[in-house]
Each structure stands twice: as C-alpha cells, then as structure tokens.
Amino acid sequence: MGSTWTMIQMQRLKELNAATEQLNLSFPDTASRDRAFQITEHHLVEEAKSKLGKLREEKRRPSILELEERLAEVLREQGFVQVCTPTIISKTALQKMTIGEDHPLFSQVFWLDEKRCLRPMLAPNLYSLWRELIRIWSKPIRIFEIGTCYRKESQGAQHLNEFTMLNLTELGTPLEERQQRLEEMAEWVMNASGIDDYNLLTESSVVYGDTVDVMKGEVELGSGAMGPHFLDEQWGIFDPWVGIGFGLERLLMIREGTQNVQSLARSLTYLDGVRLNIK
Ligand code: ATP
Ligand code: MG
C-alpha cells in the first residue's frame, strides 16, 4: 500500500488551494511523498505569490468585489434598480417573516439587543421597500440588493458567518410568467458569474409555495420563491412576485474551482483567495 499525505501536509496543501487530483495522490514510500510535498508546496506558494502580485499590480481589488460590480451592472442593464438597506433590522421584521423562536433560522440570528439583530437575509427589507414603492411607481417594480447577511453556522466548506447575498426581485410579474421569469433571472446571474451547466430544482410546498433552487452538483447557489405567498399579507403586498437570492462567495467558489468559501470571504488570513502565511 502506498503513502498518502500526512494530515499536516494535507491541511497545508488545502490552504494553498491545491487541486483535488494533487490532494488525492499516493506515493510508493514516505520519502518520495515528502519530496513531492516540498516540490508541490513550493509551486503552490509561487502561484500564490504571483496571484497576489497580479492583485497589487493589475486587479487592485479581490474577485468578490469584481463579481459584485459585474452583477450589479448586468442587473441594472436589465432594468432593475439597485438598493442599499440597513444591515441592522428589527425583531418585528424577522417576526413578519415568521422567523419566531421555533423557526430553524432563529437560532442562527446574531442579536444586538432584545429588539435588533444583524440581518440573516435581505427579504424583509425588500418587502418593506416594495410596500413604499407600490404607492409611487407603476408595476412591475424591479429592485435588487447586494449586501452582507449574517448567520451563525457550523462553518463547513460552504457556510460563512457573514456572506454576500444578492437578492433580485420583481413585484407585479404576471402569474403565468413567474417560473419563466425566475429562470431568466437565474440565467443572468449565472452568465454574469461565468458559470454554465447548472440545474434548476423546482419544488412545490404547501407552506412555502413553489421554490426554485439553482444547483451546481450538490452545491446550492441560489434559492428562488414566488408569490402570492402566505407572508405577503403581513407586509401589505397583494400582487404576484418573484424573487431569487444567491451567495456571491458560493458563485465564486464554483467558478474558481476552490475547495471552500472561507478563502473568498471577508478575511484576515486570505486575500483574494490567497492564504497569507506564505513567504
Ligand atoms: P443552505 O441550505 O446551503 O444552508 P439556505 O437554503 O439556508 O442555504 P438561503 O436562505 O436559500 O440559504 O440563501 C440563499 C443563498 O445564499 C444560498 O443559496 C447560498 O448561495 C447563500 N448562503 C446562504 N447561507 C450562506 C452561508 N452561511 N454562507 C455562504 N452563503 C450562504
Ligand atoms: Mg435555500
């Protein structure tokens, strides 16, 4: 039986973003494995340095910010208005989403005090804006936000405590066009993110209505919903609508073929996907 990487070697190779094939290598003996480790690590560190060099000399900002701007540009071109709402929201707003104490998301909420928390999603603010805008603008009302959301997660490879959400919404979609509209929205976002080959998983639930998840293999990239929805009345909304939310770090993780979202997130140990403990 051959030798595989030690746990420490494996960890180091992972943080340096080694490809799956490199991680899965095996060797005739430990001496040849350790030699291979030195060579591989050296290559990966050189690659990391050159990526950081490119960041400094050319890109001048991480891919997550480039993606955010690209998406915003594409969606504005499609006639959607970008909005910017508070990251601190009220307990009442959460309750209006029926996220009460027995809801699974409730225990994931970061509370600031008894009445305020950091938003775990963008939907409550977008509902509030819809409610104001229906008095002022004709339908359909097309708005989107890209901003940080916060959830206490058991930090796996796909979950962050703070992540960048895009929520794209249209209020006043003709009933029979909702599914098609959601599919169109998913396509714009996937194209702008440079991801092809994704799947749409449509499910009907009595409680949540029809939902459409955007999947790449086993990874959920986005979740769409449509109304009329049982929550609408609480928000004073009575028109049909569609809305879809994506995590930008996940989009980037898939596009870049990275093993986890941590390296692409807000971080002090990574810069633009590059682990900083290199020299
Ligand atoms: P999951 O089932 O993967 O935990 P979710 O269904 O709870 O995700 P949604 O509430 O549907 O997530 O949020 C919309 C999108 O936001 C997700 O499809 C995903 O891309 C992203 N997202 C949600 N939670 C996180 C997180 N903790 N870290 C990074 N991205 C996230
Ligand atoms: Mg979801």
- The model's pLDDT over 232-276, given as tens digits with 9 standing for 90+, comes to 999 999 999 999 999 999 999 999 988 889 999 999 999 999 999
Residue with tokens 């990391």: 48
Mean pLDDT lowest among 62-76, 95-109, 162-176, 209-223: 95-109
Mean pLDDT of the chain: 95
**What per-residue confidence (pLDDT) applies to 279?**
85
- Residue 164 CA to ligand 1 center (angstroms) comes to 10
Ligand 1 atom with the smallest distance to the CA of 222 is 18
Provide the pairing of β-strand 81-83 with 141-150: parallel
Cα 276 from chain centroid?
A: 23
Residue 99 pLDDT grade (very low, low, confident, very high; cuts 50, 70, 90) = confident
Which of the following CATH numbers is that of domain 7-60: 1.10.150.20, 3.40.50.620, 1.10.287.540, 3.40.630.30? 1.10.287.540
Ligand 1 atom with the smallest distance to the CA of 223 is 11
Ligand 1 contact via 153 beta carbon (within 6 Å) = yes
- Model confidence over 157-180: pLDDT tens digits? 899 999 999 999 999 999 999 999
Tell the burial category of 144 from Cβ atoms under 10 Å away from its Cβ (0-12, 13-18, 19+). Answer: buried
Assign 3-state DSSP to the chain and report helix, strand, coil percentages, each to 5: 40, 25, 35
Domain map of the chain by residue range? 7-60, 63-264
Ligand 1 contact via 260 beta carbon (within 6 Å) = no
**CB atoms < 10 A from the CB of 87, how many?**
14
**What per-residue confidence (pLDDT) applies to 100?**
83
Residue in 94, 153, 158, 260 to alter for ligand 1 test, most ligand atoms within 8 A of Cβ: 158
Question: Structure pTM?
Answer: 0.94
What residue's CA is closest to ligand 1, atom 24?
Answer: 159
Same fold, 7-60 and 63-264: no
- Give the closest residue to 183 by CA, choosing from 144, 224, 122, 141: 224
Ligand 1 contact via 222 beta carbon (within 6 Å) = yes
203 alpha carbon, closest ligand = 2
Whether the pLDDT of residue 143 is over 70: the answer is: yes
Cα 61 from chain centroid?
A: 18
- Give the closest residue to 254 by CA, choosing from 198, 212, 209: 198
104 alpha carbon, closest ligand = 1
- Residue 163 CA to ligand 2 center (angstroms) comes to 14
Whether the pLDDT of residue 119 is over 80: the answer is: yes
What residue's CA is closest to ligand 1, atom 21?
Answer: 247
What's the token pair of residue 5? Answer: 């990487």
* Strand order across the 162-171 sheet: 81-83, 141-150, 162-171, 241-247, 219-227, 209-216, 199-205
Q: What is the average per-residue pLDDT within 81-98? A: 95
Ligand 1 contact via 243 beta carbon (within 6 Å) = no
Residue 37 pLDDT grade (very low, low, confident, very high; cuts 50, 70, 90) = very high
Cα 25 from chain centroid?
A: 31
**What per-residue confidence (pLDDT) applies to 264?**
96
Ligand 1 contact via 151 beta carbon (within 6 Å) = yes
What residue's CA is closest to ligand 1, atom 6?
Answer: 223
Ligand 1 atom with the smallest distance to the CA of 219 is 3
Residue 208 pLDDT grade (very low, low, confident, very high; cuts 50, 70, 90) = low
Report whether CATH 3.40.228.10 matches the domain 63-264: no
Whether the pLDDT of residue 34 is over 80: the answer is: yes
- Residue 59 CA to ligand 2 center (angstroms) comes to 32
- Model confidence over 186-200: pLDDT tens digits? 999 999 999 999 999
- Residue 261 CA to ligand 2 center (angstroms) comes to 16
pLDDT exceeding 70 applies to what percent of the chain? Answer: 98
Provide the pairing of β-strand 116-118 with 209-216: unpaired
